[in-house]
Structure 1
Amino acid sequence: MIFSTIKLRWKILLVLIVISVILLFHSRYTGISPVHRITGRKLMNNDPCSSLEEQIDYYQRLLKSNEEKHKAGVERMRLHNGETRRQLEVQRQLVNDLERRNRQLIEKLAHLEAGGPIRKDEEPRLAAKISPDIVRTLNIRQESEFSVIPFISFTRDKLYQLEPGMTKRPEEPPVGDKHTEHQQVVDLAVKLLNEHNEGEPVTSMKLVEGYSRTDKTVGSQYDLYFETETKNIFKHVQLFRPFAPIQTVQTETYDKRNEWINLIVPLAGRVEKFKVFMDYFAEICIRRDKRVYLTIVYFGDEGKQEIKDCLEKVAAENHYTQYKFIERTDSFSRGMGLLAGAEAWENGNVLMFFCDVDIYFDLGYLDRCRLNTAPGKKVYYPIVFSLYNPDVVYHNLPEIPHWRDLMVLKKDSGFWRDFGFGMTCMYRSDFIFMKGFDTSIQGWGGEDVKLYRKMVQSNLEVIRAPDRGIFHLWHEKFCDPHLSTEQYNMCLGSKALSEASHSQLGMLAFKDLKEENDRLNAQKSKDTLI
């Protein structure tokens, strides 16, 4: 018995000696004494009452914590080094191209000085090939949201851009150099798809969606999506113009036939708006797309039963079961509502669409939501077209048109809401990895901007482009005077921009002058008749 006790003490002593040696080497490696890292109350005070088991447990936890910190640091360095290598590869390719072109110019000059005839370039293409990973670096790890390069979205005959130039039109046909560029890009994409195509030839009529953007230090990128003979299967062509003839980056096939979207709507009250929302949701999502799951997160009790009745009625009429109604008793918070909707999903990863009850979208938008997202690669932040106050826009008509007839892209009907980041499509895994919304923000706005900033500073590619199929319906906006100064100013700015166009607001401001002019002209007409 005595021998066993002595043997056990020697084992414990041996364990302590090994741990002490490890900590000694660790302190020499990090330059920090392990004593300074101690946070336990008993060990900080050199409490003699701390047991041997407690000390061993503490040192084990300390070693595990340090190991996790080292792993996290190595991972950050690995990501940073990978990004640096990609940027260096872009610059290397540009330098190689310049060197090659310089050699060609020297050869041409020598040829001409020797009296040779003028000859055309035999190889106008660049020698280096642009890889998809290099193109992705144009919109990842940006310093802030102001550094993101927005896309121009386009179809076969229309452009949708944030900088419309002198026309000030949110939608316009390509003209001038834009028309030439647009034609070259579409023609080359069609040619590439038909080179090894054994089925029905692809034409420009099959173009579903196109995107382009230009980095002034690198070149222009183009992404084009074409329909195929099979519904919900698309061909993707990516092109790149490094301020030289266009190059092919890659062609892909996207199969979106089984791609479901979890549409999450946080809500409190607003029963009439919800009825309108469910009206077009049933038409677009239930009867036509048939691949949308609806999650309603409702705050409070006021209007809750009416909302539930409306939801259940639409579901029963359309034999729709793919929905969930989540009840919350706390005060309304959009960030908390979207977070609750994301966490409630229990079937693995899913594409999520964060939406509001006053947002209208069409069938094409759902396709773009799917095409512009990929788990671990890219997220979609559409620029919504925000409609003005119909009472102002259509004040000269006998009655205001039906709300479905208000969805038009004109400079006097609305504007591209380029300061809004609330409507977005992203995968649940990416949302969780970025730690979602900052739920500490109270009141109007802010949480969506913070999430967007985290996205543009990450390795995810942010697809930011005007979307012709999603509209923000006008509604009266109330700005709580108890908000912080920054939030209150944001709210007032949004309220002012959403009311009417510059010219329409001007006519309202100078209404008295306009009436005086009308009175004088009426008097002149009367005097002329006399």
Structure 2
Amino acid sequence: MRRRQLTMCGALLLLVSVPALLLLSRHSTSTARRPHPRSPATTETRPLTSVRSADLINFTASTGGQGMYPWQHVHYGHWRRHVHVPGDVRTKQRIEAGPEIDELHRVLDLAAAELQRSTDEPAARPSDSRGARLRFVPGLGTEYEVYFPALRPATASEFHTVRLQRGLGPLEVTYAGLAGSRLVNIVLPYYGRFAALEAFVGRFRQLVLDAEAVVLTVVHFSEGVPALEGYQERLDRAGVAELVRETNEALGGDVPRVRLLEERGAFSHGAGWLAAAANWDKSHDVILFLCNIDMVFGREFLQRCRANSQPNGRVYYPMVFSTYNPEIVYGVIKKQVIPILTNYEKEHLIHENLGYWLDTEYEMSCQYLSDFRKFGVQFANQASESFAFRLYERFVKSEIQVIRMADRDLVQLYHRAHCTKEMGRESFNKCLKKKVMNEASKLEWGLWVYKNMGDTDDVEAFLKMVNNFKMPDGLKRSTNVA
């Protein structure tokens, strides 16, 4: 039987045989704490590694349309080692023994050695790695980025980042530095879903208690679909204001951790993000995490949000793992329903039977405020549902590097979509498609059909049965399971 081929195999099998693997570039960038002693103005004959360092500059500059080659997240634990592959049926693939694991060990060994050499972390070990990302760019080589905890951090969220690349030659370090202390402003457009907002704010409070440098901006719209009646709207508005007040009192501090902005008009993610950016102090260039109310994430995601964002340099567009309807997933196999958050906390959620990667959506992103203002203001008058994709396109066509990969710590909770014709024809059709996709996988839908409707050999009889079919009582109720 043919062995499964990981996406990374094409690169690794070509590159593993290269000798002199551990040669470091004389021109690689190190941390500001201990710069490299060699001056780039030296008149000595340049060694082979120095010549290749010049090629590495071209490597970085020549990958303009980088959205074509998404990154893959590498989870490297003591027992579990796998790559998260967006679009793959299995959602993640094990790193097999042989060339694949050997290459990963080389990457981790060299990254740890670079930290020991160029920083004040002499005890850094490959096993300390918090994970990595990689991608193969045809004709250029393989890029890696490895994360390590800071052993003596100034803040609880600091970590080391080491970037490496194998430009169809020896593996070379291109960057090693400390990051993680930047403030992340989570921007959350909101309308009419108070229970979901309360749960989101509860998870946010836990991040703050875990010493994460984060703030939350809730943009509350006055209109939305489905529309709230007058009394419901007033009750919702009062509830949101009280929730924000109570949260800030509980968290304490001189500066409120949760900010509430009132925005008139119809709910729109783009309009909410623009309003939050316009109301933030321009002199404080924070990282914006453009978010929605169904997202679940933790410190691991925030680490990657900071590591993959750089002013006028990089923006992070993670691929979200969207969860299916637990009632259908567990109903077809006659098992007790396990809540989504339970699977998330136990790290059992990333599975093809429980959800799928949103590899064609671009709403969630991390970028600096200055970059968002520079590119997002162009769509200020057309902040529609296509705002996120238009913004992504602008970044891809610019000089800014777009980091695109599946992120296992960014999960979209199942929520039954409400589709009405008030949305307009295009948005209504898009909503219906998303609603079907979010309920279950093809296999689970098929099993559910056979279980509830019988065989489908007679197509005419089957269609007649579908038209007369009534939903089982157990599935009529709302299934917004968290």
Q: What is the TM-score when the length of structure 2 is the normalising length?
A: 0.73
- Preserved CA contact (<8 Å) 1:233 1:253: no
- Preserved CA contact (<8 Å) 1:174 1:182: no
Q: 1:183 to 1:489 in 2, by over 3 A?
A: farther
Number of the residue aligned with 1:382? 318
User: CA–CA distance in 2 between the matches of 1:236 and 1:247?
Assistant: 14
Map 1:181-200 to 2 at 5 A: 181-195=103-117, 199-200=121-122
User: CA–CA distance in 2 between the matches of 1:236 and 1:201?
Assistant: 16
Map 1:310-321 to 2 at 5 A: 310-319=243-252, 321=256
Question: 1:455 aligns to what SS in structure 2?
Answer: helix
Map 1:355-374 to 2 at 5 A: 355-374=291-310
Q: CA deviation at 1:308?
A: 1.5
User: CA–CA distance in 2 between the matches of 1:163 and 1:430?
Assistant: 26
Question: 2:152 aligns to what SS in structure 1?
Answer: coil
Structure 2 counterpart of 1:266, from 179, 189, 214: 189
| 1:309 correspondence with 2:242 | yes
- The CA deviation string for residues 207-227 of structure 1, in whole angstroms up to 9 with x for no partner, is 123111111121111122222
User: CA–CA distance in 2 between the matches of 1:335 and 1:196?
Assistant: 42
Number of the residue aligned with 1:401? 338
Structure 2 gaps, min length 5: 1-46, 223-232, 457-482
Structure 2 counterpart of 1:297, from 219, 224, 228: 219
Query: What letter is aligned with 1:326?
Result: L
User: CA–CA distance in 2 between the matches of 1:219 and 1:136?
Assistant: 11
Number of the residue aligned with 2:371? 430
Number of the residue aligned with 1:33? none
Query: What letter is aligned with 2:132?
Result: G
Question: 2:417 aligns to what SS in structure 1?
Answer: coil
- The CA deviation string for residues 98-154 of structure 1, in whole angstroms up to 9 with x for no partner, is xxxxxxxxxxxxxxxxxxxxxxxxx997952246643433543x2xx8x52101111
Number of the residue aligned with 1:415? 356
Q: 1:390 to 1:367 in 2, by over 3 A?
A: same
| 1:504 correspondence with 2:444 | yes
Structure 2 counterpart of 1:136, from 60, 64, 87: 60
Greater Cα offset, 374-383 or 324-333: 324-333
- Preserved CA contact (<8 Å) 2:219 2:275: yes
Q: 1:514 to 1:336 in 2, by over 3 A?
A: same
| 1:218 correspondence with 2:140 | yes
Number of the residue aligned with 1:235? 160
Map 1:39-58 to 2 at 5 A: none
CA RMSD of superposed structures (Å):
2.7
Number of the residue aligned with 2:261? 326
Number of the residue aligned with 1:18? none
Number of the residue aligned with 1:171? 92
Query: What letter is aligned with 1:479?
Result: C
Q: CA deviation at 1:188?
A: 2.2
Q: 1:467 to 1:345 in 2, by over 3 A?
A: same
Question: 2:351 aligns to what SS in structure 1?
Answer: coil
- Preserved CA contact (<8 Å) 2:324 2:354: yes
- The CA deviation string for residues 8-30 of structure 1, in whole angstroms up to 9 with x for no partner, is xxxxxxxxxxxxxxxxxxxxxxx
User: CA–CA distance in 2 between the matches of 1:453 and 1:483?
Assistant: 24
User: CA–CA distance in 1 between the matches of 2:63 and 2:370?
Assistant: 20
- The CA deviation string for residues 80-114 of structure 1, in whole angstroms up to 9 with x for no partner, is xxxxxxxxxxxxxxxxxxxxxxxxxxxxxxxxxxx
Question: 1:239 aligns to what SS in structure 2?
Answer: strand
- The CA deviation string for residues 385-409 of structure 1, in whole angstroms up to 9 with x for no partner, is 1111111112256653344214211
Question: 1:202 aligns to what SS in structure 2?
Answer: coil
Q: CA deviation at 1:515?
A: 8.8
Q: 1:199 to 1:323 in 2, by over 3 A?
A: closer
Q: CA deviation at 1:323?
A: 2.3
Query: What letter is aligned with 2:168?
Result: F
User: CA–CA distance in 2 between the matches of 1:172 and 1:483?
Assistant: 39
- The CA deviation string for residues 312-335 of structure 1, in whole angstroms up to 9 with x for no partner, is 222222325222111122121221
- Preserved CA contact (<8 Å) 2:189 2:272: yes
Number of the residue aligned with 2:400? 460
User: CA–CA distance in 2 between the matches of 1:178 and 1:164?
Assistant: 21
Query: What letter is aligned with 1:357?
Result: I
User: CA–CA distance in 1 between the matches of 2:62 and 2:130?
Assistant: 24
Structure 1 gaps, min length 5: 1-122, 517-530
User: CA–CA distance in 1 between the matches of 2:408 and 2:322?
Assistant: 11
- Preserved CA contact (<8 Å) 2:220 2:262: yes
- The CA deviation string for residues 51-71 of structure 1, in whole angstroms up to 9 with x for no partner, is xxxxxxxxxxxxxxxxxxxxx
Q: 1:221 to 1:403 in 2, by over 3 A?
A: closer
How many percent of aligned residue pairs carry the same amino acid? 24
Query: What letter is aligned with 2:171?
Result: I
| 1:341 correspondence with 2:281 | no
Q: CA deviation at 1:293?
A: 1.4
Q: 1:448 to 1:203 in 2, by over 3 A?
A: same
Question: 2:69 aligns to what SS in structure 1?
Answer: coil
- Preserved CA contact (<8 Å) 1:154 1:211: yes
Greater Cα offset, 391-400 or 359-368: 391-400
Q: CA deviation at 1:450?
A: 0.8
Structure with the bigger RCO (C-alpha within 8 Å, sep 6+) is: 2
- Preserved CA contact (<8 Å) 1:289 1:363: no
Q: CA deviation at 1:451?
A: 0.7
Question: 1:294 aligns to what SS in structure 2?
Answer: strand
Number of the residue aligned with 1:63? none
Structure 2 counterpart of 1:154, from 45, 63, 74: 74
**Which has a greater percent of helix?**
1
